[in-house]
Structure 1
Amino acid sequence: MNMTSEPKISESEARKLQILFGKDVAELDKLLPLARQMHKESIFSDMPFDLPQLEKVVNDLKGETGYHGAVYVEYDGEPVAFAYFNFCPMMGSRKTWITVMHTIYIRSDIRSTPLGGYIWDRIMMAVRAWSAPRGSKGLMFNVVSGIAIEETDMVLRANGATHLGGNYFMRL
């Protein structure tokens, strides 16, 4: 994805997109295929998929507490992307609140295409629009799935993110 300028897609492609936010995302049937695919691609694919954890996410969204948000994207009727995030105090400063991007997943067959870049931009626009009225001071990205690490780094840096170190996983 070239994230230095807004990706361009045709009007006909844009019309094939359906983007849902917040409580409209809280349907297990919509999220399950993408969550399963993300799990298969992740470094944790050899571990059991945790359906109750996904159900908790869906229930948090249904609760509409204002602390959990989501974006879900379909292209031509097929699920292609989702993001799940929450609003919480920053570690070390309970007076400073941030939006923590728990999960962003764009399906592998479109991730590195102009359509994938366009979807990324739309997800980020939605997250910023959700975060700003809450007084969020910024977005913290959890990059813990092991999926497309170099590409994720490139996209985040191109969008102005500061690299703060990294997450590491050591098997026991």
Structure 2
Amino acid sequence: MPEKKKTPISHEVNVHRLARKGMTVSIKADEAERRALAEEHDLLSVERFAAELTVRPWKADGVRITGTVEADITQACVVTLEPVSSHIEEDVSAMLVPEGSRLARNEVEGGEFVLDAEGPDMPDTFHGSIIDVGVLAVEFFTLGIDPYPRRPGAVMEAAEQHEDAPKEAGPLYEGLRKLGQKS
């Protein structure tokens, strides 16, 4: 987890004072925070942003964070630029360990990295005793934003062919067309 990343939403938790059963963190963004989120993510507006997270001790010195981030946002349609409303609901699951923890290492002898594409992600690291779960909530919010929002029924018009453009297809296009006919 990046150290003191600037984000509109912030909620710090002291991991050294964390109870064994963990703690629940509820985040509800106010109007200024929602406006800043919209600006940071190039959205027309963020009408609602809420996170319900549970922060629990994990292994010897790590922290596990689970929960949900929900938001209602308005974006500009990529075709018409008209407003498009959408709802974001992302499940949060993350593990964090202190810098230098043996749980953050993924090396074997000889300096070779061991990565399992199907396995769990490596835990992120934090520095000191404070973690900002607001930063994590914003990261999962960002994952839920549609990068190409489109209004229902919005269609991209075909571009007109320029008069200087060749009227017949080139050899590459013809070859691809013939390959498509064979299958």
Q: Shared fold (TM-score greater than 0.5)?
A: no
Q: Highest relative contact order (Cα 8 Å, sep 6+), 1 or 2?
A: 1
TM-score of the aligned structures, taking structure 2 as reference length: 0.25
Larger radius of gyration: 2
Higher helix share: 1
Higher strand share: 2
